[in-house]
A and B are shown apart, each in its own frame.
Chain A
Amino acid sequence: QKEVEQDPGPLSVPEGAIVSLNCTYSNSAFQYFMWYRQYSRKGPELLMYTYSSGNKEDGRFTAQVDKSSKYISLFIRDSQPSDSATYLCAGKGDAGGTSYGKLTFGQGTILTVHP
């Protein structure tokens, strides 16, 4: 079993829809959770990061973490064709530990927003 599980999709939605992307994880040591967006043939771009449980909002994006159920979500409101990309979730142990850069990623969900 992978430490971070993510439905690869693909997911296709009409423009303006609310998109829900989800991941589950198994490593209880994860304290930081991140969402990345990756366009074809580009490097991943950091969208959101959250610490422990709770919600975080940034424009059209909302990240949620529920540590009790080991479930993380990303919501995209008013989706646009430019949101079409692969979305990757990731978990990381405490920043006070020995690593800043060791993330464990899900497989990524391919999202297409059609006009």
Chain B
Amino acid sequence: KAGVTQTPRYLIKTRGQQVTLSCSPISGHRSVSWYQQTPGQGLQFLFEYFSETQRNKGNFPGRFSGRQFSNSRSEMNVSTLELGDSALYLCASSISGTGLYFGPGTRLTVT
């Protein structure tokens, strides 16, 4: 079974721009979560979607948003990019509460 896939893998954007990242979960997984990973803060939970509904949201500003489609694929959007948004953005999927499977991540650099 194919794992979680994320596109693009690398992205360079300028401050003030917006960006959209895409994630395809493992087949059959209806829960998709997004995380931000930075050297200083580690892995931090952004939000979770289940059956197209946001079920949980982490402590991030409203510039960070997401959505999930009927095929469970998910996108996250960051508007008005700041330098501090440079990070590895990880998508993860789950079929139940017993395991969360991560994709390879999208490395975003904001200049």
Task: Show the binding face of A for B, using Cβ within 8 Å.
Answer: 32, 34, 36, 41-46, 49, 51, 88, 90, 92, 94-96, 98-108
Contacts and interface: CB of A to CB of B under 8 A. Distances in A.
Contact of B102 (A44, A96, A104): A44
14 contacts: A32-B98, A34-B100, A43-B104, A44-B90, A45-B102, A92-B97, A98-B56, A99-B48, A100-B33, A100-B100, A101-B33, A101-B45, A101-B92, A108-B42
A55 to B, nearest CB: 17
**Top-4 shortest CB links A-B:** A95-B97, A101-B33, A43-B102, A101-B48
> How many of chain B's residues touch chain A, expressed as a range?
20 to 34
Contact of B56 (A43, A102, A108): A102
B48 A100 contact: yes
User: Max chain B CB contacts within 10 Å: which of A41, A44, A101?
Assistant: A101
A98 B55 contact: yes
Given A43-B104, A98-B56, A104-B45, A51 B92 contact: no
Contacts, number: 76
Contacts of A36: 102
Interface of B: 4, 31-33, 42-45, 48, 50, 55-56, 58, 90, 92-105, 107
B92 to A, nearest CB: 6
Given A101-B33, A102-B45, A32 B90 contact: no
B31 A100 contact: yes
Given A32-B98, A95-B96, A96-B97, A101 B43 contact: no
A100 B90 contact: no
The DSSP consensus for interface residues of chain A is loop
B56 A103 contact: no
Nearest to A50: B98
B103 A107 contact: no
A103 B46 CA distance: 10
Contact of B98 (A42, A43, A51): A51
Nearest to B97: A95
A62 B99 CA distance: 17
